[in-house]
């Protein structure tokens, strides 16, 4: 969601900016732009609505310079138009600025300081750049004006700004929205995430909330808003440019679905030692062992993985678990237990809804763990403990391998915690064997892609609505399966507790309505069969996805053997593939569905 790139000290600035923006495409955007300055009085601003390829077409060969900033915009304030695209500029064309985040007091600032200024856009961002200019016009130098504006601005932001009068530097600031500095030899870059600049550097420095950076080609000066200097070392990002390429695949989503067996093996190798003992931090387990309740906080697919996790932790560790949506929990925090422990699940580690809960958890001095796919992400840095998903970069907006990895890591953690508690349930749960079964089980499903494509065509061609139903673990899974289908195929899909249909929703079932029924939950299996009959009697076209143990003749997809607790790791895969093929059949942009962003960095 909104991406920022910037570079200073290279002579192929335009190229680096455009390539960086392409790498950030996966985050979701609806317009893009660059500002390039040749440090010799000449500068260029190019903006376009739509894909980066449109921006590339608009960039002529003379757009060259030694410093530049670029941006992909996901519209919040104002429609996706060229005027609203970033970079924004002050009315005297002195300052150029890109922004990721949402400014909450922009109307107030506009009324108070900028009533006589002409605005070119409807964005909150333009207020920031006009405000800097307003203070510069009062005689402040660029940096002082930037700091003054920051001291008044409220909300979330990552800013990068170029002052035409000082084009030897980029002004950078951050609060709540992600931004990194990348270090080079005789040049430096900025980016919303490291993937954008891996071709330039693997060495990065974090910027923390409330910090300002003056970036020059040979120096990085970090300070707090009040000017106090900050010293911070760099870290190496161990990713290759090839990790983020599609290879021979038509879409990242299919590649990422296919990668899941390997992700299971990687998690197993990393977290389970050769002697079978678990590689989980002792302090983390001791802290969790003190908790009388676990609170899992997440959004979207990660929330669904949390729902599966609740069952795993409650059954294996005998501890009560609440699973909460970050967007709700942060603002309506219920009465907490006496000794809560928080688990943040987030593929990106940047989701603003979850992060605002973590900020409150830290204010309350409560212990927390972030389980994330992105080392050094904000949620990972700010939680007390971190566990990595090790799924490799997930680029497609629709989350697939991160979901299965989250369940696998939850299973490892539950086993480790249950062992610390000395519980038989933990001893009986052979997580190594289960992850091996998961890898093989996923493989058998992805090997049956052609069959699943046929089923997707048969059940979903021409349909507007679809339902996923199940009980217990299959209900949690149905929510994720339905989300996958709706977010990329745009078919209206709902996940339902199978028993709830007859309390209202069954009224929507008519001749030919596709209903995907999950039967993996032992306790609920026979009842779900009853619910299948109810919808069939009303004309539904039912596709059954059943585990080997509960399968009946006529069931279309059989899930190989695995412990029920983690069965969604395998049984979600047919739903991922069904969604993929339904999206393809409709000619949608599978990897970048409309209106969505990969990393949701605004609340």
Site of interaction with ligand AGP (CB under 6 A): 299-302, 346-348, 351, 354, 397-399, 487, 600
Angle, CA 77 vertex, CA 76 and CA 81 arms, to 5°: 90
Q: Would you say 268 or 346 has its CB closer to ligand AGP?
A: 346
Q: Would you say 419 or 480 has its CB closer to ligand AGP?
A: 480
Find the shortest distance in angstroms from Cβ 434 to ligand AGP. Answer: 23
- Quick check: 160 and 191 in contact, CB under 8 A? no
Q: Would you say 158 or 498 has its CB closer to ligand AGP?
A: 158
Q: Which residue is nearest to ligand AGP (CB)?
A: 300
Beta strand ranges found along 327-462 (DSSP E):
340-346, 368-372, 385-388
Find the shortest distance in angstroms from Cβ 354 to ligand AGP. Answer: 6
- Quick check: 392 and 378 in contact, CB under 8 A? no
Q: Would you say 295 or 429 has its CB closer to ligand AGP?
A: 295
Q: Would you say 354 or 556 has its CB closer to ligand AGP?
A: 354
33 vs 17: CA distance, rounded Å? 9
Find the shortest distance in angstroms from Cβ 377 to ligand AGP. Answer: 9
CA dihedral 393, 398, 400, 403 (to 10 degrees): 90
Q: Would you say 121 or 351 has its CB closer to ligand AGP?
A: 351
317 catalytically annotated: no
Find the shortest distance in angstroms from Cβ 601 to ligand AGP. Answer: 10
52 vs 65: CA distance, rounded Å? 19
Find the shortest distance in angstroms from Cβ 347 to ligand AGP. Answer: 4
Query: H-type helices in 233-281, by residue range?
Result: 252-258, 260-271
How many of the other CB atoms lie within 10 Å of CB of 241?
A: 10
Complete edge-to-edge strand list for the sheet that includes strand 157-163: 88-89, 95-100, 157-163, 170-175, 211-215, 220-224, 229-230
Find the shortest distance in angstroms from Cβ 258 to ligand AGP. Answer: 17
Query: Of 88, 91, 68, whose CA–CA distance to 77 is shortest?
Result: 88
The catalytic position among 2, 19, 401, 486 is 2
The catalytic position among 148, 164, 415, 598 is 598
Complete edge-to-edge strand list for the sheet that includes strand 203-206: 43-49, 31-37, 67-73, 3-8, 188-191, 180-183, 203-206, 235-236
- Quick check: 543 and 515 in contact, CB under 8 A? yes
Burial (CB count <10 Å: 0-12, 13-18, 19+), residue 138:
exposed
Find the shortest distance in angstroms from Cβ 192 to ligand AGP. Answer: 13
Burial (CB count <10 Å: 0-12, 13-18, 19+), residue 593:
buried
598 catalytically annotated: yes
Q: Would you say 487 or 563 has its CB closer to ligand AGP?
A: 487
Residues 6+ apart with CB under 8 A from 293: 319, 320, 321, 322, 336, 337, 339, 340, 341
Write out the catalytic residue numbers. 2, 598
């Amino acid at each position: 969601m909104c991406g920022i790139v910037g570079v200073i000290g290279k002579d192929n600035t335009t190229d680096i900016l455009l390539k960086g923006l392409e790498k950030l495409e996966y985050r979701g955007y609806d317009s893009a732009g660059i500002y390039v300055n040749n440090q010799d009085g000449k500068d260029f601003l190019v903006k376009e609505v739509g894909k980066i390829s449109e921006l590339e077409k608009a960039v002529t060969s003379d757009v060259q310079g030694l410093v530049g900033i670029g941006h992909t915009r996901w519209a919040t304030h104002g429609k996706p138009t060229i005027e609203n695209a970033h970079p924004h500029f002050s009315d005297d064309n002195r300052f150029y600025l890109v922004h990721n985040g949402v400014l909450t007091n922009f109307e107030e600032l506009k009324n108070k300081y900028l009533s006589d200024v002409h605005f070119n856009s409807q964005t909150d961002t333009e207020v920031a750049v006009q405000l800097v200019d307003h203070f510069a016009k009062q005689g402040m130098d660029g940096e002082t004006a930037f700091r003054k504006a920051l001291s008044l601005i409220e909300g979330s932001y990552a800013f990068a700004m170029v002052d035409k009068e000082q084009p030897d530097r980029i002004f950078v600031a951050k609060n709540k929205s992600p931004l990194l500095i990348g270090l080079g030899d005789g040049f430096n870059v900025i980016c919303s995430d490291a993937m954008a600049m891996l071709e330039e550097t693997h060495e990065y420095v974090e910027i923390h909330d409330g910090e300002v950076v003056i970036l020059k080609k040979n120096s990085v000066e970090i300070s707090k808003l009040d000017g106090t200097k900050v010293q911070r070392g760099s870290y190496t990002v161990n990713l290759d440019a090839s990790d983020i390429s599609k290879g021979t695949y038509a879409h990242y989503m299919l590649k990422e679905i296919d990668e899941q067996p390997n992700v299971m093996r990687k998690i197993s190798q990393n977290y389970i030692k050769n002697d079978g003992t678990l590689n989980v931090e002792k302090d983390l387990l001791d802290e969790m062992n003190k908790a009388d309740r676990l609170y899992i906080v997440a959004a979207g697919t990660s929330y669904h993985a949390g729902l599966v996790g609740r069952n795993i932790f409650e059954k294996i560790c005998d501890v009560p678990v609440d699973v909460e949506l970050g967007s709700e929990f942060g603002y309506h925090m219920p009465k907490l237990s006496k000794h809560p422990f928080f688990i943040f699940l987030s593929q990106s580690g940047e989701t603003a809804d979850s992060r605002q809960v973590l900020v409150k958890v830290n204010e309350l001095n409560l212990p927390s763990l972030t389980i994330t796919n992105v080392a050094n992400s904000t949620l990972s840095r700010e939680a007390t403990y971190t566990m990595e998903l090790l799924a490799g970069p997930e680029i497609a907006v629709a989350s697939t391998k991160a979901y299965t990895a989250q369940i696998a890591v939850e299973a490892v953690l539950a086993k480790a915690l249950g062992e610390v508690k000395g519980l038989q349930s933990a001893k009986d749960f052979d997580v190594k064997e289960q992850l091996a079964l998961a890898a093989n089980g996923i493989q058998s499903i992805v090997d049956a892609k052609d069959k699943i494509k046929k089923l997707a065509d048969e059940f979903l061609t021409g349909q507007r609505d679809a339902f996923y139903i199940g009980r217990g673990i299959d209900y949690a899974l149905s929510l994720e399966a339905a989300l996958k289908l709706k977010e990329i195929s745009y078919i209206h899909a709902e996940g339902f507790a199978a028993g709830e249909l007859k309390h209202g929703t069954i009224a929507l079932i008519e001749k030919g309505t596709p209903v995907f029924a999950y039967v993996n939950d032992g306790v609920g299996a026979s009842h779900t069969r009853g619910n299948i009959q109810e919808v069939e009697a009303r004309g539904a076209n039912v596709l059954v996805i059943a585990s080997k143990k509960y399968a009946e003749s006529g069931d279309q997809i059989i899930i190989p053997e695995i412990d029920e607790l983690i069965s969604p790791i395998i049984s979600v895969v047919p739903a991922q593939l069904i969604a993929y093929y339904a999206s393809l059949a409709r000619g949608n942009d599978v990897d970048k569905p409309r209106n969505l962003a990969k990393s949701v960095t605004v609340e």
